[in-house]
Structure 1
Amino acid sequence: MAQKVQKTQATRNTATLNRTHLISLLIYLLFLLTSTLLSPRNLLPFLLLNLPALAIEFWFERIGRPTYTSPSPSTSNNGRDLRKAGEPLDAKGLTEWMWDIVYWSWGNTVLVAVVGDWAWWLYVVVPLYSTSLGRSTYAGVRQGFSGVSAGAGGGGEGSGGGGQSKRQAKMEKKGGQRVQYR
Protein backbone atom coordinates (compact mmCIF):
# COMPACT_ATOMS: atom_id res chain seq x y z
CA MET A 1 0.00 0.00 0.00
CA ALA A 2 2.83 2.41 0.84
CA GLN A 3 4.41 1.76 -2.56
CA LYS A 4 1.17 2.81 -4.25
CA VAL A 5 1.14 6.09 -2.30
CA GLN A 6 4.75 6.75 -3.29
CA LYS A 7 3.99 6.01 -6.95
CA THR A 8 1.03 8.37 -6.86
CA GLN A 9 3.19 11.06 -5.25
CA ALA A 10 5.88 10.52 -7.88
CA THR A 11 3.37 10.78 -10.72
CA ARG A 12 1.82 13.92 -9.23
CA ASN A 13 5.23 15.56 -8.70
CA THR A 14 6.39 14.73 -12.22
CA ALA A 15 3.23 16.21 -13.74
CA THR A 16 3.47 19.33 -11.57
CA LEU A 17 7.13 19.92 -12.37
CA ASN A 18 6.65 19.37 -16.10
CA ARG A 19 3.67 21.73 -16.16
CA THR A 20 5.59 24.35 -14.15
CA HIS A 21 8.58 24.24 -16.49
CA LEU A 22 6.36 24.47 -19.55
CA ILE A 23 4.43 27.47 -18.19
CA SER A 24 7.68 29.21 -17.23
CA LEU A 25 9.13 28.61 -20.66
CA LEU A 26 6.01 29.98 -22.38
CA ILE A 27 5.87 33.08 -20.16
CA TYR A 28 9.57 33.87 -20.57
CA LEU A 29 9.35 33.34 -24.34
CA LEU A 30 6.33 35.66 -24.48
CA PHE A 31 8.28 38.32 -22.60
CA LEU A 32 11.38 37.95 -24.75
CA LEU A 33 9.37 37.99 -27.99
CA THR A 34 7.42 41.09 -27.03
CA SER A 35 10.54 42.82 -25.77
CA THR A 36 12.46 42.18 -29.00
CA LEU A 37 9.72 42.42 -31.64
CA LEU A 38 7.11 44.89 -30.39
CA SER A 39 8.74 47.35 -28.06
CA PRO A 40 12.06 47.21 -26.26
CA ARG A 41 11.88 46.26 -22.60
CA ASN A 42 14.51 46.57 -19.94
CA LEU A 43 16.00 43.11 -19.32
CA LEU A 44 17.74 43.93 -16.02
CA PRO A 45 14.49 44.06 -13.96
CA PHE A 46 13.32 40.93 -15.75
CA LEU A 47 16.44 39.05 -14.70
CA LEU A 48 16.58 40.42 -11.15
CA LEU A 49 12.90 40.05 -10.32
CA ASN A 50 12.50 36.60 -11.85
CA LEU A 51 15.63 35.23 -10.22
CA PRO A 52 13.80 34.23 -7.00
CA ALA A 53 11.10 32.43 -9.00
CA LEU A 54 13.72 30.59 -11.05
CA ALA A 55 15.63 29.63 -7.91
CA ILE A 56 12.43 28.31 -6.34
CA GLU A 57 11.58 26.41 -9.50
CA PHE A 58 14.99 24.72 -9.51
CA TRP A 59 14.64 23.99 -5.79
CA PHE A 60 11.30 22.30 -6.47
CA GLU A 61 12.97 20.32 -9.24
CA ARG A 62 15.66 19.18 -6.84
CA ILE A 63 13.41 18.14 -3.97
CA GLY A 64 10.29 17.06 -5.87
CA ARG A 65 11.54 15.11 -8.89
CA PRO A 66 11.22 11.36 -8.27
CA THR A 67 14.30 9.21 -8.63
CA TYR A 68 14.32 5.73 -10.07
CA THR A 69 16.74 2.84 -9.96
CA SER A 70 18.64 1.79 -13.02
CA PRO A 71 16.75 -0.47 -15.42
CA SER A 72 16.69 -4.18 -14.80
CA PRO A 73 15.01 -6.88 -16.89
CA SER A 74 12.91 -8.21 -14.00
CA THR A 75 11.00 -5.01 -13.32
CA SER A 76 8.10 -3.38 -15.08
CA ASN A 77 7.48 0.41 -15.36
CA ASN A 78 9.94 0.89 -18.21
CA GLY A 79 12.46 -1.25 -16.38
CA ARG A 80 12.79 1.12 -13.42
CA ASP A 81 11.80 0.89 -9.78
CA LEU A 82 10.92 3.93 -7.75
CA ARG A 83 13.72 4.82 -5.37
CA LYS A 84 12.38 8.08 -3.97
CA ALA A 85 9.04 9.77 -4.73
CA GLY A 86 10.23 13.27 -3.87
CA GLU A 87 8.82 15.76 -1.39
CA PRO A 88 5.17 16.72 -1.82
CA LEU A 89 4.92 19.93 -3.84
CA ASP A 90 1.41 20.69 -2.59
CA ALA A 91 2.40 20.95 1.07
CA LYS A 92 1.20 23.79 3.26
CA GLY A 93 3.41 26.43 4.81
CA LEU A 94 6.71 27.36 3.22
CA THR A 95 6.09 25.37 0.04
CA GLU A 96 2.77 27.13 -0.46
CA TRP A 97 4.45 30.51 0.07
CA MET A 98 7.12 29.61 -2.48
CA TRP A 99 4.44 28.75 -5.04
CA ASP A 100 2.90 32.16 -4.39
CA ILE A 101 6.22 33.80 -5.28
CA VAL A 102 6.41 31.82 -8.52
CA TYR A 103 2.83 32.71 -9.47
CA TRP A 104 3.33 36.40 -8.61
CA SER A 105 6.47 36.50 -10.74
CA TRP A 106 4.69 34.89 -13.67
CA GLY A 107 1.78 37.31 -13.40
CA ASN A 108 4.06 40.33 -13.27
CA THR A 109 6.13 39.10 -16.20
CA VAL A 110 3.01 38.64 -18.36
CA LEU A 111 1.73 42.05 -17.30
CA VAL A 112 5.05 43.70 -18.19
CA ALA A 113 5.04 41.94 -21.56
CA VAL A 114 1.54 43.22 -22.30
CA VAL A 115 1.48 46.65 -20.64
CA GLY A 116 5.04 47.87 -20.30
CA ASP A 117 8.01 48.34 -17.99
CA TRP A 118 6.08 50.35 -15.41
CA ALA A 119 4.33 47.12 -14.32
CA TRP A 120 7.55 45.99 -12.61
CA TRP A 121 6.50 48.34 -9.80
CA LEU A 122 3.77 45.85 -8.88
CA TYR A 123 6.46 43.83 -7.13
CA VAL A 124 6.31 46.52 -4.43
CA VAL A 125 2.80 45.36 -3.50
CA VAL A 126 4.08 42.22 -1.75
CA PRO A 127 6.53 43.94 0.64
CA LEU A 128 3.97 46.68 1.35
CA TYR A 129 1.33 44.09 2.18
CA SER A 130 3.79 42.15 4.34
CA THR A 131 4.77 45.32 6.18
CA SER A 132 1.12 46.22 6.76
CA LEU A 133 0.36 42.71 8.00
CA GLY A 134 3.38 42.73 10.31
CA ARG A 135 2.46 46.13 11.67
CA SER A 136 -1.12 45.11 12.46
CA THR A 137 0.10 41.90 14.07
CA TYR A 138 2.59 43.82 16.19
CA ALA A 139 -0.13 46.30 17.23
CA GLY A 140 -2.43 43.43 18.22
CA VAL A 141 0.27 41.72 20.26
CA ARG A 142 1.20 44.99 21.93
CA GLN A 143 -2.44 45.66 22.78
CA GLY A 144 -2.76 42.15 24.15
CA PHE A 145 0.26 42.62 26.39
CA SER A 146 -1.06 45.96 27.63
CA GLY A 147 -4.31 44.23 28.54
CA VAL A 148 -2.40 41.59 30.49
CA SER A 149 -0.44 44.17 32.45
CA ALA A 150 -3.57 46.26 33.08
CA GLY A 151 -5.41 43.15 34.26
CA ALA A 152 -2.59 42.35 36.66
CA GLY A 153 -2.75 45.87 38.08
CA GLY A 154 -6.50 45.72 38.53
CA GLY A 155 -7.49 48.44 36.07
CA GLY A 156 -8.09 46.59 32.82
CA GLU A 157 -10.83 47.52 30.39
CA GLY A 158 -14.12 45.69 30.58
CA SER A 159 -13.33 44.00 33.84
CA GLY A 160 -16.10 43.90 36.32
CA GLY A 161 -14.99 44.93 39.82
CA GLY A 162 -11.46 44.50 41.09
CA GLY A 163 -9.82 43.02 38.00
CA GLN A 164 -12.15 40.06 37.76
CA SER A 165 -13.59 38.67 34.60
CA LYS A 166 -17.35 38.66 34.13
CA ARG A 167 -17.44 34.97 34.87
CA GLN A 168 -15.52 35.40 38.11
CA ALA A 169 -17.79 38.26 39.19
CA LYS A 170 -20.87 36.17 38.44
CA MET A 171 -19.50 33.19 40.39
CA GLU A 172 -18.69 35.45 43.35
CA LYS A 173 -22.19 36.93 43.27
CA LYS A 174 -23.68 33.42 43.43
CA GLY A 175 -21.61 32.62 46.48
CA GLY A 176 -18.24 31.73 45.07
CA GLN A 177 -16.96 28.51 43.61
CA ARG A 178 -18.00 25.48 45.52
CA VAL A 179 -15.38 22.81 45.78
CA GLN A 180 -16.62 19.40 46.66
CA TYR A 181 -14.26 17.06 48.45
CA ARG A 182 -14.81 13.31 48.68
Structure 2
Amino acid sequence: MAGKASKKQAHNNAAVLKRLYTVSGAVLAFTVVRLLLSGGSWFKLIAFHAPAAACVYMLEKGGRPRFDAGGKVVREGMDLNQEGLTEWMFDIVYLSLFADVGHAVFNTSKLWYVMLLVPVYLGYKIKGVAAPMLGGMRNAQAPSAGAPADTSAKSKRQAKRDKNADKVRYRYK
Protein backbone atom coordinates (compact mmCIF):
# COMPACT_ATOMS: atom_id res chain seq x y z
CA MET A 1 0.00 0.00 0.00
CA ALA A 2 2.89 2.34 0.66
CA GLY A 3 3.44 4.73 -2.23
CA LYS A 4 0.24 3.79 -4.04
CA ALA A 5 -0.54 7.41 -4.91
CA SER A 6 2.93 8.03 -6.34
CA LYS A 7 2.74 4.80 -8.37
CA LYS A 8 -0.64 5.80 -9.72
CA GLN A 9 0.59 9.29 -10.64
CA ALA A 10 3.72 7.85 -12.27
CA HIS A 11 1.67 5.49 -14.45
CA ASN A 12 -0.82 8.25 -15.31
CA ASN A 13 2.03 10.57 -16.31
CA ALA A 14 3.61 7.85 -18.46
CA ALA A 15 0.26 7.24 -20.17
CA VAL A 16 -0.31 10.98 -20.78
CA LEU A 17 3.17 11.40 -22.28
CA LYS A 18 2.72 8.29 -24.44
CA ARG A 19 -0.58 9.64 -25.76
CA LEU A 20 1.00 13.05 -26.41
CA TYR A 21 3.88 11.53 -28.38
CA THR A 22 1.57 9.22 -30.31
CA VAL A 23 -0.75 12.00 -31.44
CA SER A 24 1.97 14.57 -32.12
CA GLY A 25 4.19 12.02 -33.89
CA ALA A 26 1.40 11.00 -36.24
CA VAL A 27 0.44 14.59 -37.03
CA LEU A 28 4.05 15.71 -37.51
CA ALA A 29 4.77 12.73 -39.78
CA PHE A 30 1.73 13.64 -41.87
CA THR A 31 2.90 17.26 -41.97
CA VAL A 32 6.44 16.36 -43.01
CA VAL A 33 5.18 14.07 -45.78
CA ARG A 34 2.93 16.85 -47.03
CA LEU A 35 5.84 19.31 -46.83
CA LEU A 36 8.08 16.98 -48.85
CA LEU A 37 5.41 16.52 -51.51
CA SER A 38 4.51 20.21 -51.80
CA GLY A 39 8.01 21.65 -51.38
CA GLY A 40 7.12 24.03 -48.55
CA SER A 41 9.42 25.98 -46.28
CA TRP A 42 11.33 24.05 -43.60
CA PHE A 43 12.10 27.32 -41.83
CA LYS A 44 8.40 28.01 -41.29
CA LEU A 45 7.88 24.49 -39.99
CA ILE A 46 10.65 24.84 -37.43
CA ALA A 47 9.73 28.41 -36.45
CA PHE A 48 6.06 27.59 -35.98
CA HIS A 49 6.84 24.55 -33.86
CA ALA A 50 9.24 26.29 -31.46
CA PRO A 51 6.58 27.12 -28.82
CA ALA A 52 5.09 23.63 -28.98
CA ALA A 53 8.54 22.03 -28.80
CA ALA A 54 9.39 24.11 -25.74
CA CYS A 55 6.13 23.05 -24.08
CA VAL A 56 6.70 19.38 -24.88
CA TYR A 57 10.22 19.65 -23.46
CA MET A 58 8.94 21.19 -20.23
CA LEU A 59 6.21 18.57 -19.90
CA GLU A 60 8.75 15.81 -20.50
CA LYS A 61 11.29 17.14 -18.02
CA GLY A 62 8.76 17.81 -15.30
CA GLY A 63 6.36 14.95 -15.78
CA ARG A 64 8.41 11.94 -16.83
CA PRO A 65 8.47 9.40 -13.99
CA ARG A 66 11.72 7.66 -13.08
CA PHE A 67 11.89 4.03 -12.05
CA ASP A 68 14.80 2.07 -10.58
CA ALA A 69 16.03 -1.29 -11.87
CA GLY A 70 13.47 -3.15 -9.76
CA GLY A 71 10.56 -1.17 -11.16
CA LYS A 72 9.99 0.95 -8.05
CA VAL A 73 9.11 4.60 -8.48
CA VAL A 74 12.08 6.87 -7.75
CA ARG A 75 10.38 10.08 -8.87
CA GLU A 76 6.80 10.28 -10.03
CA GLY A 77 7.08 13.72 -11.68
CA MET A 78 4.60 16.58 -11.51
CA ASP A 79 0.97 15.76 -12.10
CA LEU A 80 0.30 16.23 -15.80
CA ASN A 81 -3.47 16.19 -15.31
CA GLN A 82 -3.54 19.27 -13.11
CA GLU A 83 -5.01 22.61 -14.05
CA GLY A 84 -2.99 25.73 -14.61
CA LEU A 85 0.34 25.95 -16.39
CA THR A 86 0.52 22.31 -17.46
CA GLU A 87 -2.95 22.56 -18.96
CA TRP A 88 -1.91 25.69 -20.87
CA MET A 89 1.18 23.92 -22.21
CA PHE A 90 -0.98 21.07 -23.51
CA ASP A 91 -3.28 23.66 -25.10
CA ILE A 92 -0.33 25.22 -26.95
CA VAL A 93 0.79 21.81 -28.21
CA TYR A 94 -2.71 20.87 -29.36
CA LEU A 95 -3.26 24.24 -31.05
CA SER A 96 0.01 23.71 -32.90
CA LEU A 97 -1.10 20.24 -34.00
CA PHE A 98 -4.45 21.69 -35.10
CA ALA A 99 -2.60 24.20 -37.27
CA ASP A 100 -0.45 21.37 -38.66
CA VAL A 101 -3.48 19.36 -39.67
CA GLY A 102 -4.99 22.43 -41.31
CA HIS A 103 -1.74 23.13 -43.12
CA ALA A 104 -1.47 19.55 -44.36
CA VAL A 105 -5.12 19.18 -45.39
CA PHE A 106 -5.82 22.63 -46.85
CA ASN A 107 -2.23 23.55 -47.85
CA THR A 108 -2.45 26.94 -46.17
CA SER A 109 -0.54 28.50 -43.30
CA LYS A 110 -3.45 30.69 -42.28
CA LEU A 111 -4.48 28.29 -39.53
CA TRP A 112 -1.27 29.20 -37.74
CA TYR A 113 -2.96 32.50 -36.90
CA VAL A 114 -4.82 30.58 -34.21
CA MET A 115 -1.51 30.63 -32.29
CA LEU A 116 -1.98 34.39 -31.93
CA LEU A 117 -4.78 33.56 -29.52
CA VAL A 118 -2.26 32.17 -27.03
CA PRO A 119 -0.88 35.55 -25.84
CA VAL A 120 -4.40 36.98 -25.80
CA TYR A 121 -5.64 34.10 -23.65
CA LEU A 122 -2.58 34.35 -21.41
CA GLY A 123 -3.22 38.07 -20.88
CA TYR A 124 -6.84 37.33 -20.03
CA LYS A 125 -5.80 34.70 -17.47
CA ILE A 126 -3.15 36.96 -15.91
CA LYS A 127 -5.67 39.77 -15.68
CA GLY A 128 -8.09 37.43 -13.94
CA VAL A 129 -5.45 36.39 -11.43
CA ALA A 130 -3.89 39.81 -10.87
CA ALA A 131 -7.06 41.93 -10.74
CA PRO A 132 -8.23 40.76 -7.30
CA MET A 133 -4.75 41.32 -5.89
CA LEU A 134 -4.39 44.78 -7.39
CA GLY A 135 -7.99 45.69 -6.65
CA GLY A 136 -7.62 44.49 -3.07
CA MET A 137 -4.57 46.69 -2.55
CA ARG A 138 -6.37 49.72 -3.93
CA ASN A 139 -9.39 49.13 -1.70
CA ALA A 140 -7.20 48.73 1.37
CA GLN A 141 -5.46 52.06 0.70
CA ALA A 142 -8.56 54.01 -0.36
CA PRO A 143 -10.35 54.74 2.94
CA SER A 144 -8.55 57.18 5.19
CA ALA A 145 -8.19 56.72 8.95
CA GLY A 146 -10.65 59.51 9.85
CA ALA A 147 -13.37 58.61 7.35
CA PRO A 148 -16.35 56.64 8.61
CA ALA A 149 -16.75 53.12 7.28
CA ASP A 150 -19.44 52.52 4.67
CA THR A 151 -22.15 50.55 6.45
CA SER A 152 -24.61 50.44 3.53
CA ALA A 153 -22.95 47.35 2.02
CA LYS A 154 -22.76 45.54 5.36
CA SER A 155 -25.44 43.53 7.02
CA LYS A 156 -27.16 44.87 10.14
CA ARG A 157 -25.33 42.38 12.29
CA GLN A 158 -21.91 43.37 10.92
CA ALA A 159 -22.70 47.08 11.28
CA LYS A 160 -23.68 46.52 14.91
CA ARG A 161 -20.45 44.61 15.56
CA ASP A 162 -18.40 47.38 14.03
CA LYS A 163 -20.23 50.00 16.08
CA ASN A 164 -19.69 48.10 19.35
CA ALA A 165 -16.09 47.15 18.58
CA ASP A 166 -14.65 50.34 20.10
CA LYS A 167 -16.60 50.11 23.35
CA VAL A 168 -14.82 49.03 26.49
CA ARG A 169 -16.50 45.91 27.78
CA TYR A 170 -14.74 45.37 31.09
CA ARG A 171 -13.30 47.81 33.60
CA TYR A 172 -10.72 46.54 35.98
CA LYS A 173 -10.18 48.30 39.30
- Work out the CA distance in 1 between the residues paired with 2:134 and 2:67: 52
Q: Which residue of 2 aligns with 1:164?
A: 150
Aligned residue type for 1:6: S
1:122 aligns with 2:114: yes
1:105 aligns with 2:91: no
- Work out the CA distance in 1 between the residues paired with 2:168 and 2:53: 66
SS at match of 1:84: strand
Aligned residue type for 2:57: F
Aligned residue type for 1:22: T
Q: Structure 1 residues 97, 137: CA separation in 2 closer, same or farther (over 3 Å shift)? A: closer
Q: Which residue of 1 aligns with 2:76?
A: 86
Residues 63 and 86 of structure 1 are in contact (CA less than 8 Å); yes or no, is this contact kept in structure 2? Answer: no
Aligned residue type for 2:27: I
- Report % sequence identity: 27
Deviation of 1:145 (Å): 6.8
Q: Which residue of 1 aligns with 2:57?
A: 58
Aligned residue type for 2:41: N
Residues 65 and 76 of structure 2 are in contact (CA less than 8 Å); yes or no, is this contact kept in structure 1? Answer: yes
The number of residues matched between the two structures is 163
Aligned residue type for 1:21: Y
Q: Which residue of 1 aligns with 2:8?
A: 8
Q: Structure 1 residues 126, 83: CA separation in 2 closer, same or farther (over 3 Å shift)? A: closer
Residues 13 and 64 of structure 2 are in contact (CA less than 8 Å); yes or no, is this contact kept in structure 1? Answer: yes
What is the Cα-based RMSD across aligned positions, in Å?
3.5
Q: Which residue of 2 aligns with 1:76?
A: none
Deviation of 1:123 (Å): 1.7
- Work out the CA distance in 1 between the residues paired with 2:26 and 2:3: 35
- Work out the CA distance in 1 between the residues paired with 2:45 and 2:2: 43
Gaps of 5+ in 2: none
Residue range with higher mean Cα deviation, 81-90 or 130-139: 130-139
Residues 152 and 163 of structure 1 are in contact (CA less than 8 Å); yes or no, is this contact kept in structure 2? Answer: no
Aligned residue type for 1:91: Q
Residues 7 and 76 of structure 2 are in contact (CA less than 8 Å); yes or no, is this contact kept in structure 1? Answer: no
Gaps of 5+ in 1: 71-79, 156-161
SS at match of 2:3: helix
Q: Structure 1 residues 169, 104: CA separation in 2 closer, same or farther (over 3 Å shift)? A: closer
Runs of 4+ in 1 over 4 A off after TM superposition: 131-151, 167-172
Q: Structure 1 residues 150, 30: CA separation in 2 closer, same or farther (over 3 Å shift)? A: same
SS at match of 2:47: helix
Deviations 1:47-106 (A, max 9, x none): 112122223223322332222222xxxxxxxxx231424212112322222222212211
Q: Structure 1 residues 85, 107: CA separation in 2 closer, same or farther (over 3 Å shift)? A: same
